[in-house]
Structure 1
């Protein structure tokens, strides 16, 4: 079968197509004939910096959709031929992928395989950020970094459905602001001056909840954008800065809280909790109340082009690799 792998770290050019044996599911695992694979920034970090790469060569890819090819010993409730979406630890950029049965989800009625490939990371992440960690309450205000990205476009919609009184976004380019405004945002700020924009929009109060996947200076500015008793949830370090550190002198005067979230760590440590988040969030997609927009789709052998596009930070919504298609 065909799969994408890299044998050294570097730019998108290190990705290449390889002929490899078809993987077989072990105990508690499922193999899937892949229809589509999602492209995530974590895949870019794996290729460039070795993020979550235990050894080389390595095959990237964290989320897939397709039809079950085979089930391993001990798997219940899943069967060959069933249409599913799945969160994998790696190797999703392939014609066949293996995933733990605990992170394989039967498709809700009305969800296409193309849409399904957008679901495993984005929707549970948003559900966790807003409801489990962020504890969003009706009437509160929200600030979302990278508002035009995969998580950002969904976070705006879900926050609005949860009763947020106002949802603000931050993007890096003016054209991204136009895209983000389609997905639940009241106002979208461009660039690093968003703290002043937030203060203006909220009458000097700040927001109740901020979501930050960027880190570094953006993390600090998000913290400065909080209202008294506000919460900041960090869920990535896309900017590549040193890990954030925060102390009592910064939190205590205004009663601020800082927390973190990682859907990949949750999948590894507590897949049952991930299944609960997925069930709640997939229902929103099936109902049509939430859309995960796809901005570009590439065939499997053009995975490097997808990575170049994501690295350029010009993308909005989700990127997909088309493997077998529908």
Structure 2
């Protein structure tokens, strides 16, 4: 089978299409004939700096859709030929992917495999950031960094559907603002001035919830943009900054809270909670609440081009690799 791997860290050029042995599922696993794989920023961090890479060579890719090829010992409720989406710790850039059954999700009726490939990481993450971790209530206000990306696109729609009083987004360029405004956002701010913009838009009150994948100084400024009793949920450190510790001086005076979320960590520590979260999140796509547009699709052999596009910070929505012809 064909698979995309890298044997050293570096620019997109280190991604290579290789011939590899077709994997067989172990106990509690299935193998999947892949149709599509999602491209995520975590894949770029793995390739460039070894994020979550245990050893080299490494095969990136966290999410895949396709048809079950074979099932391992002890697997119940899943069968060859069944259409599924799956979350994996790596390895989705391949024609055949092995996944633990705890993170394999049968597709809702009527959902196609292309749409399904957009779901496993992005939609549950956005749902958890707003609801399970963020505790959003109707009438509250939200600020979402990366509003034009995959998670941001979903978060804007979910916040609007939840009855948020105002949904504000932060984008890295003015070219992305239009995409965000079409997907649930009331106003879109620049990354350079978002804290001042929030205070202007809320007459100095601040927002009730901030979703931050950037970290570093952006996280610190996000805390300053919170209203009394506001919450900030961290879900990444795209800035690469040293971890910043928050404590009594920053939180006590206004009753602020800081939380965090990682879908990969949840998959390892609480797979039953992940499955319940995924079912709730997937329903928002099935019932039309959420639409995550695929804005670019690449052949498996062009994975490097997908990484260049995402790494250039000009992409919006979701990027996919087309695995099957």
TM over 0.5: yes
TM-score (norm 2): 0.99
Matching residue of 2:113: 113
Matching residue of 2:99: 99
Cα distance, 1:14 vs. partner?
0.4
Over the residues paired in the alignment, what is the CA RMSD in angstroms?
0.7
Matching residue of 1:244: 244
Please give the secondary structure, in 2, of the residue aligned with 1:120: coil
Matching residue of 1:304: 304
Cα distance, 1:191 vs. partner?
2.5
Matching residue of 1:316: 316
Matching residue of 1:231: 231
Distance (whole Å) between structure 2 residues aligned to residue 69 and residue 265 of structure 1: 27
Please give the secondary structure, in 2, of the residue aligned with 1:55: coil
Cα distance, 1:244 vs. partner?
2.2
Q: Contact 1:177–1:190 (CA<8 Å) still a contact in 2?
A: no
Is residue 46 of structure 2 the alignment partner of residue 20 of structure 1? no
Once the two structures are superposed, what CA deviation does each residue of 1:116-167 show, in whole Å capped at 9, x if it has no partner?
0000001110111111111111110000000000000000000111111110
Gaps of 5+ in 1: none
Runs of 4+ in 1 over 4 A off after TM superposition: none
Please give the secondary structure, in 2, of the residue aligned with 1:275: helix
Please give the secondary structure, in 2, of the residue aligned with 1:119: coil
Matching residue of 1:203: 203
Q: Give matches, 1:65-76, under 5 Å.
A: 65-76=65-76
Distance (whole Å) between structure 2 residues aligned to residue 111 and residue 188 of structure 1: 31
Q: Contact 1:5–1:17 (CA<8 Å) still a contact in 2?
A: yes
Matching residue of 1:276: 276
Q: Contact 1:30–1:100 (CA<8 Å) still a contact in 2?
A: yes
Matching residue of 1:85: 85
Gaps of 5+ in 2: none
Distance (whole Å) between structure 2 residues aligned to residue 56 and residue 269 of structure 1: 25
Distance (whole Å) between structure 2 residues aligned to residue 248 and residue 70 of structure 1: 53
TM-score (norm 1): 0.99
Distance (whole Å) between structure 1 residues aligned to residue 209 and residue 129 of structure 2: 10
Q: Give matches, 1:255-274, under 5 Å.
A: 255-274=255-274
Once the two structures are superposed, what CA deviation does each residue of 1:251-295 show, in whole Å capped at 9, x if it has no partner?
111111111110010011111111011000101101111111111
Is residue 133 of structure 2 the alignment partner of residue 133 of structure 1? yes
Is residue 47 of structure 2 the alignment partner of residue 47 of structure 1? yes
